[in-house]
Amino acid sequence: MVPGSFLGAVHRLAPLLILLSAFSPALAAEDPSLIVSRFQEYLRINTAQPNPNYSDTKEFILAQASSLSLEAQTVEFVAGKPVIILKWPGTNPSLPSIMFYSHTDVVPVEQSKWAHPPFGAHLDGDGRIFARGSQDMKCVGMQHIEAVRLLKQSGFEPVRSVYIVFSPDEEIGGHDGAEKLAESEIFRKMNVGVVLDEGLASPNEDYRPFYGERSPWWLVIKAIGAPGHGAKLYDNTALENLFKSIETIRRFRASQFDLVKAGLKAEGEVTSVNMAFLKAGTPSPTGFVMNLQPSEAEAGFDIRVPPTADPEVLERRIAEEWAPISRNMTYEFKQKATVHNKNGKPMLTATDSSNPWWGLMEEAVRKANGKLGKPEIFPAATDSRYFRLLGLPAIGFSPMANTPILLHDHNEFLHKDEYLKGIEVFGSIIKTYASYVEDSRDRSSRDEL
């Protein structure tokens, strides 16, 4: 008689073996538990900002590359911040290559708020893997590698070269990683034709694809006024003027949010504004001086601007309504990312017949028994912007269906079945993209248009 626990294990394992064998009969030999354990190993490397362990990360990724006989190159545009470039050469290297991109760093954690250690990669009895980076976005980087592993096992050979790139510092802006990579001669020689970067989890069965993203404008408004006694009513004090601005900004925020709540626009299609800090007062040994009105006050705002917005209109609003000089106010941008590419066009990737990569992606996901939802504008910023800035098509995509959105949240997790299914999906995308040879007549027609 077979013990019940063994039968239970077989029962849980069967769907995963079926999933992998559906992708290719040769893949059924790969033990799903080994695939998941490699993911857990990556998750256990603490790459939280501001002190990410890039050294162990590099060692781990290069070991994966070696096991797959992939070409590997490590570049440090800034010391201590490695960009790792893996290459699977195609049989026709003259064709534009495919780049699958992910970042290695993650955001900090509040340890006490987690049910399981955030860098323990705990697999619970329900199949959920708890770890910082399980959704954002170590899952995607490992799915790229595992998809190549399975394709190699099946005997597939790409026509186009495939690059798998791991970059640092996305969570603090990507300036020393993706931005410098996109501007480099190394990237030019890679001859990239399309980039796949991160997306978001989907609470339903449809995967969420992203064809653009909102640009971050980090705004600091400063008000100046005469100091005065805390008991006296003055006109145009620093705090009074700042509060007027905050109220004006709050009304604008509410008007944008109302469009989202009414279902008229998606979150990525409106301009969001959230106050990040408020600074005022005169410090004292016990806190703040309570009977003195301060002469200066500042507030910081995280603004996200969609590529469909008119940036000149927004900046005029800031100058005339949010921080008018008539109220002794000034403003500065700590960061102000453009919404246009180098050709002056909105940084949006086409999702129609003018972009063959979009149709190929729909086809590849469908072949993997998945379904793409309506293309969206990513509500935050990703490193995709540095490649869209060059005019390259870039699609944000993280194959996580039936999954709550937990990036940057406590108890971030991804179910192992969704992780394994995502490998199948990426395998289909790599196979479809790397096999694509554009019809020269199609290219001529588009050039004429």
SS3 category, 15 = helix
Class of domain 215-305+309-336: alpha beta
pLDDT of residue 438: 81
Query: Which CATH topology does 12-213+346-448 take?
Result: Aminopeptidase (3.40.630)
**319 DSSP assignment:** I
Longest dimension (CA), the chain: 88
Mean pLDDT of 74-96: 98
Q: Per residue in 15-33, pLDDT tens?
A: 445 445 444 444 455 799 9
pLDDT of residue 30: 78
Q: Per residue in 321-352, pLDDT tens?
A: 999 999 999 999 999 999 999 999 999 999 99
CA distance 60 to 46: 12
Q: Per residue in 87-110, pLDDT tens?
A: 999 999 999 999 999 999 999 999
Q: Write phi, then psi, for 86 (nearest 5 degrees).
A: -105, 140
SS3 category, 42 = helix
Q: Is 343 exposed, middle or buried (0-12, 13-18, 19+ CB in 10 A)?
A: exposed
Q: Which residues pair with 101 in a beta bridge?
A: 165
DSSP output for 380-417: S--THHHHHTTT--EEEE----S----TTSTT-EEEHH
Q: Which of 105, 169, 198, 383 is catalytic?
A: 105
Does residue 399 have a pLDDT over 50? yes
Tokens, residue 66:
């070696």
Q: Which residues pair with 288 in a beta bridge?
A: 283
Indicate the pTM of the whole model.
Answer: 0.87
pLDDT of residue 28: 54
Band (118; pLDDT cuts 50, 70, 90): very high
Respond yes or no: is residue 105 known to be catalytic.
yes
Are 109 and 84 spatial neighbours (Cβ–Cβ below 8 Å)?
A: no
**107 DSSP assignment:** -
Respond yes or no: is residue 170 known to be catalytic.
yes
Mean pLDDT of the chain: 92
Residues of the chain with CATH 3.40.630.10: 12-213+346-448
CA distance 212 to 341: 12
pLDDT of residue 3: 42
CA distance 47 to 231: 51
CA distance 87 to 119: 29
**161 DSSP assignment:** -
Percent helix, percent strand, percent coil in the chain, to nearest 5: 40, 25, 40
CA distance 185 to 199: 27
CA distance 377 to 211: 6
Please state which of the ranges 21-25, 65-69, 391-395, 399-403 shows the lowest mean pLDDT: 21-25
Residues of the chain with CATH 3.30.70.360: 215-305+309-336
Q: Distances from the Cα of 444 to the Cαs of 248, 354, 389, 441, in angstroms? A: 51, 12, 24, 5
Does residue 276 have a pLDDT over 70? yes
Q: Which of 136, 146, 169, 170 is catalytic?
A: 170
Are 159 and 92 spatial neighbours (Cβ–Cβ below 8 Å)?
A: yes
Mean pLDDT of 351-371: 96
Q: Per residue in 175-234, pLDDT tens?
A: 999 999 999 999 999 999 999 999 999 999 999 999 999 999 999 999 999 898 989 888
Are 242 and 223 spatial neighbours (Cβ–Cβ below 8 Å)?
A: yes
Percentage of the chain modeled with pLDDT above 90: 88
